[in-house]
Structure 1
Amino acid sequence: MHIANRHQPIYIFHLTPEISLIWTALGSLLLILAAAASSWYYAMIHAETVIFRLDSSGGGLETGIISFLGWLIITFGTIIVHELLHGIAFATFGGSPHYGFKVKYFMPLAYATSPGNFFRRNIFIIIALAPLLVIDIGCLVLLAIFPQATWLIWVIALNTGGAIGDIWMTVQLLRCPPSIRVEDRKEGIAIYAPPDVTRQQLPFNRIDNNRMHSTGKFWLNLTLMILVLLLISSFLLIPLLKMLEVPSFIIGNNNFWILRWQNTATGFSLGFNWISVLIMIVTLCLLGFVVNLVQRRLQ
Structure 2
Amino acid sequence: MKEQQQLTLNGRKEIGKLEMTKEVVYTLNGMGILALFAFGFFFTSLYTLFTGKIDINYTSGTILSSVALVIGTFVLHELIHGAFMSKYGGKPSYGAGIAHYILPYFYATTKTIFTRNQFIVIAIAPLVVISLVAIGIMAAFPSIAHWMVIPFVLNGSGAVGDLWVTRNILRCPKHVTVEDRKNGVIIYGKETDKLMFISTTGFGSGFGKVFMLCIVAMGFLMIIAPMTLDILGVESFVIGPTNSFFTVFEFHSIGEGFEFDFFPTSILATSVIVGLVYAIVNAGKSRNGAMAG
TM bucket normalised to smaller? 0.5 to 0.7
Q: Pick from 78, 88, 97 the counterpart of residue 73 of structure 2.
A: 78
C-alpha separation in 2, matches of 1:71 and 1:156: 10
Q: Pick from 126, 136, 156 the counterpart of residue 152 of structure 2.
A: 156
Alpha carbons 1:49, 1:247 under 8 Å: kept: no
Q: Pick from 197, 204, 209 the counterpart of residue 198 of structure 2.
A: 204
Q: Report the equivalent of 1:175.
A: 171
Indicate whether 1:34 and 2:39 are aligned. Answer: yes
Alpha carbons 2:134, 2:148 under 8 Å: kept: yes
CA RMSD of aligned residues (A): 3.2
Indicate whether 1:93 and 2:88 are aligned. Answer: yes
Shift of 1:70: 3.6
Q: Give CA deviations for 1:248-270 in whole Å, capped at 9, x if unaligned.
A: 9xxxxxxxxxxxxxxxx9x9879
TM-score, normalised to structure 2's length?
A: 0.64
Alpha carbons 1:53, 1:151 under 8 Å: kept: no
C-alpha separation in 2, matches of 1:159 and 1:187: 20
Q: Pick from 175, 179, 185 the counterpart of residue 181 of structure 2.
A: 185
TM-score, normalised to structure 1's length?
A: 0.63
Shift of 1:72: 2.8
Shift of 1:203: 5.6
Q: Report the equivalent of 1:144.
A: 139
Q: Report the equivalent of 1:110.
A: 106
Aligned length in residues: 215
Identity of aligned residues (%): 28
Alpha carbons 2:79, 2:108 under 8 Å: kept: yes
C-alpha separation in 2, matches of 1:45 and 1:71: 19
Segments of 5+ residues of structure 2 without an aligned counterpart are 220-238, 247-260, 267-293
2:96 is paired with a residue whose SS is strand
Which structure has the larger Rg? 2
Q: Report the equivalent of 1:254.
A: none
C-alpha separation in 1, matches of 2:62 and 2:140: 24
Q: Give CA deviations for 1:13-61 in whole Å, capped at 9, x if unaligned.
A: 2111222111111112112111211222232234x12433542xxxxxx
C-alpha separation in 1, matches of 2:118 and 2:58: 38
Alpha carbons 1:98, 1:113 under 8 Å: kept: yes
Structure 1 residues 80 and 52, CA, compared in 2 at 3 Å: closer, same or farther? farther
Segments of 5+ residues of structure 1 without an aligned counterpart are 56-62, 212-224, 249-264, 271-299
Structure 1 residues 129 and 39, CA, compared in 2 at 3 Å: closer, same or farther? same
Structure 1 residues 53 and 168, CA, compared in 2 at 3 Å: closer, same or farther? farther
Alpha carbons 1:121, 1:182 under 8 Å: kept: yes
Alpha carbons 1:86, 1:128 under 8 Å: kept: yes
Q: Report the equivalent of 1:277.
A: none
C-alpha separation in 2, matches of 1:269 and 1:122: 37
Shift of 1:69: 3.9
1:204 is paired with a residue whose SS is coil
Indicate whether 1:126 and 2:126 are aligned. Answer: no
Q: Report the equivalent of 1:287.
A: none
Matches within 5 A, 1:55-66: 55=59, 63=60
C-alpha separation in 2, matches of 1:75 and 1:53: 18
C-alpha separation in 1, matches of 2:50 and 2:62: 26
Q: Pick from 43, 50, 53 the counterpart of residue 48 of structure 2.
A: 43
